Amino acid sequence: MTAVIPIEQAKVRAGPGLQRAGVLLINLGTPDTADADGVRVYLKEFLSDPRVIEDQGLVWQFVLNGIILRRRPRVKALDYQKIWNTEKNESPLKTITRSQSEKLAAALAGRGDVVVDWAMRYGNPSIRSRIEALTAKGCDRILAVPLYPQYSAPTSATVCDEVFRVLASLRAQPTLRVTPPYYDDPAYIEALAVSIDAHLSTLSFKPELIVASFHGMPKAYVDKGDPYEQQCVVTTEALRRRLGLDASKLLLTFQSRFGKAEWLQPYTDETMKRLAREGMRRIAVVTPGFSADCLETLEEIAQENAEIFKHNGGEAFTAIPCLNDSEPGMDVIRTLVERELQGWI
């Protein structure tokens, strides 16, 4: 039985009996460089996606190209520089996703003829480049793994859109499977609980409550039928049951709002301010909607929201790391992948 190997080490083996499955881990994306030029290229691709900004009309094009792409890249570049992996000259999201791919390959070793790779929806490595690499290595079946616990059109759906676009350009298409969202999967809830308990055990203080902060979304998207908000609620309720906490001790909030439209509430930053002003002094924040630490967790939560909390009277703040490539986190990814590979390996 052939061992699972990373894409870089895979060898093409021709022959009529060749059957090889490719597993492609996919996360949101990141700039290639932590400067204004790199951020501008990334934001242009991200904000030009109609799944992210649904109205791509003339008004939005003016705002995007005339205002946002002129001003925001400089500001966001400074934020990226705060968290940048200077050793590898890349964002933590890229470092972690690569490691998840490598560890998954090792975990699946001996389970069949499988090639494991990773990609970003926006930026590099692109989904197109990695699907082409997988097919060039003899993969006639591909399992796409969107690394989003909760489904939403601006995340999960746009990954599928891009995968389908790539396949539409291929004459010899591989068979495709896509892992479903795992917002209520027992392995995921257990991994979150284990990671929270492990982190809290290292602290010199006991948080008075935990805030579960999920990435936000325009309320209009949910009103049109996006299931994201409800899946965030289900995740939070399951985590409360597992940790033995009620709603007053584990709050649900939404972060990262953008623009003037109403987004899902309550907002994380406003909740930080309110809790501190009401006398809350010690708090922990977990980000269950992110499979890997990134700008939104390392800078927005661990730095920006920590400052908001302390500026308004809070004393102790801790940001609980994402599951990342930890043992509990890899157990979740492995469980999802093994389940969907059944019948292929």
| CATH number of the domain to which 265 belongs | 3.40.50.1400
Per-residue pLDDT 10s for the chain (345 aa) are 444 555 555 544 434 445 799 999 999 999 999 999 999 999 999 999 999 999 999 999 999 999 999 999 999 999 999 999 999 999 999 999 999 999 999 999 887 799 999 999 999 999 999 999 999 999 999 999 999 999 999 999 999 999 999 999 999 999 999 999 999 999 999 999 999 999 999 999 999 999 999 999 999 999 999 999 999 999 999 999 999 999 999 999 999 998 889 999 999 999 999 999 999 999 999 999 999 999 999 999 999 999 999 999 999 999 999 999 999 999 999 999 999 999 998
**Per DSSP, which regions of the chain are E strands?**
5-6, 20-30, 114-123, 139-146, 175-178, 209-215, 250-255, 282-286, 316-319
- Residue 298 resides in a domain: yes
Give the residue from 48, 83, 118 where a domain finishes: 83
Are 173 and 187 spatial neighbours (Cβ–Cβ below 8 Å)? no
Evaluate whether residue 223 is within a structural domain.
Answer: yes
Please give the DSSP secondary-structure letter assigned to residue 90. B
Q: Are the CB atoms for 300 and 261 separated by under 8 Å?
A: no
> Are 301 and 190 contained in the same domain?
yes
Distance CA 107, CA 111 (A): 9
SS3 70: helix
Per the document, the length of the chain is: 345
Confirm whether 220 is domain-assigned.
Answer: yes
Residue 138: inside a domain = no
Separation of alpha carbons 288 and 190, rounded Å: 12
Q: ω before 180 within 30° of 0 (cis)?
A: no
DSSP string, 239-298: HHHHHT--TTTEEEEEE---SSS-BSSSBHHHHHHHHHHTT--EEEEE-TT-SS--HIII
Domain boundary residue, one of 83, 118, 142 = 83
Residue 4 is predicted with a pLDDT of 54
Q: Please check whether residue 145 lies inside any domain of the structure.
A: no
| CA atoms of 272 and 122, how far apart (whole Å) | 30
Q: Nearest-CA neighbor of 249 among 283, 278, 290?
A: 283
219 falls within a domain: yes
Q: Which two tokens stand for residue 103?
A: 């560890």
Q: Which amino acid is at 177?
A: R
Task: Tell me which residue of 53, 33, 36 sits closest to 45, measured CA to CA.
Answer: 53
67, part of any domain: yes
- Please report the pLDDT score of residue 318 as a whole number: 98
Map residue 94 onto helix, strand or coil.
Answer: helix
Residue 283 structural domain: 186-319
- Cα distance between the two ends of the chain: 10
| Residue 243 domain flag | yes
Where a domain ends, among 43, 62, 83?
Answer: 83
**Tally of domains within the chain:** 2
CB within 8 A of 80, min separation 6: which ones?
A: 31, 34, 39, 91, 295, 299
Q: Cβ(266)–Cβ(253) under 8 Å?
A: yes
Compute the distance between CA of residue 165 and CA of residue 141 in angstroms, rounded to an integer. 16
123 touches 31 (CB < 8 A): yes
